[in-house]
């Protein structure tokens, strides 16, 4: 059998007038050939429409492959640039005075009838480190109550390295929340409060704070769980409805913001689960920024309330 393409070429180059029978046979053969070709073309098109694309056709260009990760990276960078200026480093000092009696030979010899023991006062200075974030342009800062508990002096360092003394406005030890105030003008950067009720498990979570004194540290993870009930070491207090995250939170992160992919504060970093006591193992907890907490913070700033 001749090749169809070759056969069509040959028939088109013949000379002279064909007989009637020859013409009929040639016409029928040509029609059958055209029908076969058109059927093949239709079948190929139909097969291509339903057949999965080949590996080569499905492969994306390097620019397309990298577009997703680059977009996500850009989001994290934008969040860090937007929120970090509102995150502060908090240092506190507390003086603990202890009175005790010790033997004083000089007093004993000068006053044999008196007591040989003399009262002494010992002063111990304790410092604490934590984080916080500015919630109003005139210097109100939200943090954990345990960060400033018992402090005689509170000092706040801003992201631009300026440092200011702070005063305690109100603390709620039961909910471990506190608001402090600095006088640093009326144009400070602020963190936008979000709504933890809208947070889904698996959502991105970004923690910003000063772990071990390393200020403006940004770590990324997800919301691992919601509604966690955590008992403080020793069983003295129970915290409820906490957000759990695997974003790295360490000592010094307390009071710092946990933000979502839109840069909104959805939690206040509070505690970690660390059996060895050394630091983060991927289980951290944050107080949710729910409607109640958000309303209480706004009421204090506006002067309508005196309790967090």
DSSP element (H, E) containing 276: none
Catalytic residue among 131, 215, 224, 254: 254
Strand partners, 88: 132
- 176 carries an active-site annotation: yes
Total Cβ atoms within 10 A of residue 54: 8
Catalytic residue among 146, 210, 215, 224: 146
User: What is the rounded distance in angstroms from the CA atom of residue 134 to the CA atom of residue 184?
Assistant: 11
H helices present in 145-255, as ranges: 145-148
Radius of gyration of the chain (CA): 38
Catalytic residue among 131, 136, 176, 246: 176
Residue with tokens 């309303």: 295
- 146 carries an active-site annotation: yes
DSSP element (H, E) containing 157: strand 153-157
- 254 carries an active-site annotation: yes
User: What is the rounded distance in angstroms from the CA atom of residue 296 to the CA atom of residue 172?
Assistant: 11
User: Which residues, 6 or more positions from 107, have their beta carbon under 8 angstroms from its beta carbon?
Assistant: 114, 115, 116, 118
User: What is the rounded distance in angstroms from the CA atom of residue 238 to the CA atom of residue 296?
Assistant: 21
The residues that are catalytic are 146, 176, 254
């Amino acid at each position: 059998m001749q090749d169809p393409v070759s056969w069509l070429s040959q028939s088109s180059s013949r000379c002279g007038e064909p007989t009637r029978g020859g013409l009929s046979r040639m016409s029928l053969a040509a029609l059958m050939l055209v029908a076969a070709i058109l059927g093949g073309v239709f079948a190929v098109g139909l097969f291509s429409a339903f057949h999965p694309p080949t590996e080569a056709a499905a492969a994306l260009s390097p620019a397309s492959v990298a577009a997703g990760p680059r977009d996500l990276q850009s989001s994290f960078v934008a969040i860090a640039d937007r929120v970090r200026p509102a995150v502060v480093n908090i240092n506190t000092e507390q003086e603990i005075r202890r009175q005790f009696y010790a033997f004083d030979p000089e007093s004993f010899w000068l006053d044999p009838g008196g007591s040989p023991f003399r009262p002494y006062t010992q002063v111990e200075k304790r410092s604490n480190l934590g984080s916080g974030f500015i919630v109003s342009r005139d210097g109100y800062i939200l943090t954990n109550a345990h960060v400033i508990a018992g402090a005689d002096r509170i000092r706040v360092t801003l992201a631009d390295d300026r440092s200011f003394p702070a005063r305690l406005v109100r603390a709620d030890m039961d909910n471990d929340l506190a608001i402090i105030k600095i006088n640093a003008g009326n144009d400070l950067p602020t963190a936008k409060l979000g709504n933890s009720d809208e947070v889904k498990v698996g959502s991105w979570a970004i923690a910003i704070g000063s772990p071990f004194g390393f200020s403006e540290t940004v770590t990324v993870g997800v919301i691992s769980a919601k509604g966690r009930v955590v008992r403080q070491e020793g069983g003295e207090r129970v915290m409820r409805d906490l957000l759990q995250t695997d974003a790295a939170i360490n000592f010094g992160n307390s009071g710092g913001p946990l933000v979502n992919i839109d840069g909104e504060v959805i939690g206040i970093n509070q505690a970690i689960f660390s059996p060895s006591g050394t630091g983060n193992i991927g289980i951290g907890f944050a107080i949710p920024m729910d409607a109640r907490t958000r309303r209480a913070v706004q009421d204090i700033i506006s002067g309508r309330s005196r309790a967090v």
